[in-house]
Amino acid sequence: MSHSRKKKLLTAAWVLGLSVLTGCAHQYFRAKPPQAEIGFIELSPDITLRRSVVRNSKPKGTVLLLHGFPETLYAWTDISTALGKDYEVHAFDWPGYGLSSRPPIDKFSYSPRDYARVLKAYIDKAGIDASSLTIYATDIGALPPLLLALDEPSLAKTIVVGDFAPFDRPSYMIDYLQALKSKPSSDVVNAAMNKNRDEILENASRRGFTKEEQFELPRAFKDDMARGWNQGSMTSADAFYHYYSHFTEDQEYFEKNLARLKTPVRVIWGERDFYIKKEMGIEFADKAHVGFTVLPGIGHYPHLQDPARTISEIRAAAEKGRS
């Protein structure tokens, strides 16, 4: 075989090998799941939030996930990466939770309306396009976007809320949540919650289920809740306590102004919610004239118990909101 012939064959083989390697690389990067970027964003001199963002080069829209008590943004890890295949996904720790700021109460009340202002500041500072935004919020995270929507109807394309207390209906709530709504019982409950941190973090999501029905939380999430419980002089239980000290006032304000709620809203509820009865959700959906879905066999934390169902719910809401 001539030297030129060998050279041509070697060149062809090299090109073929390169194309195979390039194709494999493309397959690898296409298959690689999106990764969350965890960092911090300063909203004001008093408030810096730890946040998670999953980027997408061509997102169908943006999803913002808002956690409840005693959670942190790690509650959304798997859900964020799954949704990140199609959307840009944001989550953050509320002030008083995780590694976000815990300003003194003379500068920040930890009320639902103060959280609503934090939410507004985050959306603005993060540069989120509200016209393509889907908010999914649970527990203490649910009332703030609804309060904000009263004055900002274009806050989001759609809001999905569930397993929370939009109205002042103590009879729909478990005893210790009722006790948090006023003194002196609230002080007793707060002290007990701080004393029983480990038990709360281990069992909050398990209550209402038999041992066989209980589900495990990811270790990274449990460790993050424990690490974030006590930062400085305020615990997450303290932040929860302060939230509840303003809860009744903000619930009454929301119910009084419910007719101003124009942002599209969907309500979902765990059929077996141990903390807040589904009748709360039924009444809210009826008065707000919005859709209501009961999740069979699900408790207070749908996103932890059945993340696949939550992903489906969020996708359905985001797709319905698209023009």
Residue 13 lies in a domain: no
Residue 223 lies in a domain: yes
Mean pLDDT confidence for 16-24? 44
Residue 11 lies in a domain: no
Residue 74 lies in a domain: yes
Mean pLDDT confidence for 277-289? 98
How does pLDDT run across 159-173, given as a tens digit for each residue?
999 999 999 999 999
Please report which helix (H) or strand (E) contains residue 24, including its range: helix 3-31
302 and 138 Cβ atoms separated by less than 8 Å? yes
- Say what the pLDDT of residue 10 is: 44
Please report which helix (H) or strand (E) contains residue 88, including its range: strand 88-92
Q: Which domain holds residue 287?
A: 33-321
Pairwise CA distance, residues 246 & 30, whole Å: 48
How does pLDDT run across 256-273, given as a tens digit for each residue?
999 999 999 999 999 999
Residue 275 lies in a domain: yes
Pair of tokens at residue 312: 């489906």
Pair of tokens at residue 172: 């729909």
Residue 219 lies in a domain: yes
Pairwise CA distance, residues 323 & 320, whole Å: 8
Which residue is listed with tokens 């493309």? 26
- Say what the pLDDT of residue 9 is: 44
Q: What b/e sequence results for 125-137 when a residue is b if at least 16 CB atoms lie within 10 Å of its CB, and e otherwise? A: ebebeeebbbbbb
268 and 313 Cβ atoms separated by less than 8 Å? yes
Pairwise CA distance, residues 66 & 76, whole Å: 9
Asked if residue 15 has pLDDT above 80, the reply is: no
Which pLDDT band holds residue 303 (cuts at 50, 70, 90)?
very high
Model-wide pTM > 0.85:
yes
Pair of tokens at residue 184: 């002196």
Pairwise CA distance, residues 132 & 87, whole Å: 10
- Say what the pLDDT of residue 4 is: 55
User: Is the bond preceding residue 59 a cis peptide, omega within 30 degrees?
Assistant: no
Asked if residue 16 has pLDDT above 80, the reply is: no
Residue 157 lies in a domain: yes
- Domain with residue 165: its CATH number is 3.40.50.1820
Please list the helix, strand and coil fractions of the chain in percent, rounded to the nearest 5, in that order: 50, 15, 35
- Say what the pLDDT of residue 193 is: 98
How does pLDDT run across 62-78, given as a tens digit for each residue?
999 999 999 999 999 99
Query: Would you say how long the chain is, in residues?
Result: 323
22 and 28 Cβ atoms separated by less than 8 Å? no
Residue 12 lies in a domain: no
Q: Give the chain's domain count.
A: 1
315 and 84 Cβ atoms separated by less than 8 Å? no
Q: Mean pLDDT, the chain, as a whole number? A: 92
CA angle, corner 309, sides to 308 and 310, nearest 5? 90
Nearest by Cα to 62 from 117, 2, 122: 122
* CA quadruple 264, 143, 116, 308: dihedral, nearest 10: -70
Mean pLDDT confidence for 203-210? 96
Mean pLDDT confidence for 133-156? 98
Asked if residue 21 has pLDDT above 70, the reply is: no
Nearest by Cα to 149 from 176, 119, 169: 119
What is the percent of the chain with per-residue pLDDT over 90, rounded to a whole number?
87
Pair of tokens at residue 66: 């808002």
